[in-house]
Chain A
Amino acid sequence: MTPEIKERIETLINGSTIMVFMKGTKLMPQCGFSNNVVQILNVLGVPFETFDVLSDYDVRQGIKEFSNWPTIPQVYLNGEFLGGSDILIEMYQNGQLQETVEVAMAS
């Protein structure tokens, strides 16, 4: 990964409290796993930004290396990697997600 790509990813991650790297957009997710994450965040009713990795090959490959995580979607909260679809679903189901997001939003 070039320093330029790394810097672009860091700028994206630090640009909003919740940043989702996904396939497609909030309105039209192009993958079931990305859709899971969008639906969960919609239910929580919190603001979040998304980046469509299908529109940018460098970010699509770079984010996998950056997070040490092989799949999309990837969710960042306050600049830290929170998890992918499985982890978001599990955290949502056990109530941990609501709690973590509330704390992050308040800070």
Chain B
Amino acid sequence: MINPDQVITMIKTGLPDAEVQINDLTGGGDHFEATVVSANFEGLTLVKQHQLVYKTVQEAMSTNDIHALALKTYTPEKWSALQS
């Protein structure tokens, strides 16, 4: 079982500029939902953006410690447009 803070740490280790919000969808510590905002997503397709995030948690996902990680990814520009 993994807690949301550990997931945030994993993502931030791979993407240091990222702003991350995590929800534990089931409370079971293995189904998470993450919203990630990073300038590294600039110019990338959604698939490539998600692949960048998945890469940061690759180990935990391959061992099934994280069973599912639903993602929403935004560039800082898109994110601030969404908040306004």
Interface residues of A (CB under 8 A from B): 33, 68-71, 81-87, 90-91
Tell me whether A83 and B68 are in contact in the complex, defined as CB-CB below 8 angstroms, given that A69-B54, A70-B58 are known contacts. Answer: no
- From B46, B61, B70, B72, A70 is in contact (CB under 8 Å) with B61
Do A71 and B68 touch across chains, with their CB atoms under 8 A apart?
yes
Q: How many A-B residue pairs have CB under 8 A?
A: 34
Please, how many angstroms separate the alpha-carbon atoms of A81 and B46 in the complex? 11
Tell me whether A85 and B50 are in contact in the complex, defined as CB-CB below 8 angstroms, given that A70-B58, A70-B61, A70-B62 are known contacts. Answer: no
Do B61 and A90 touch across chains, with their CB atoms under 8 A apart?
no
Among residues 27 to 84 in chain B, which have CB atoms less than 8 Å away from a CB atom of chain A?
46-47, 50-51, 54, 57-58, 61-62, 68-72
A-B residue pairs, 7 tightest by C-beta: A70-B61, A87-B46, A70-B54, A83-B47, A86-B71, A86-B70, A68-B51
- Residues of chain A within 8 A (CB-CB) of B54 are 68-70
15 A–B pairs (Cβ distance < 8 Å), ordered by A: A33-B68, A69-B47, A69-B50, A70-B57, A70-B58, A70-B61, A70-B62, A71-B61, A71-B68, A71-B69, A83-B50, A86-B50, A86-B72, A87-B46, A90-B46
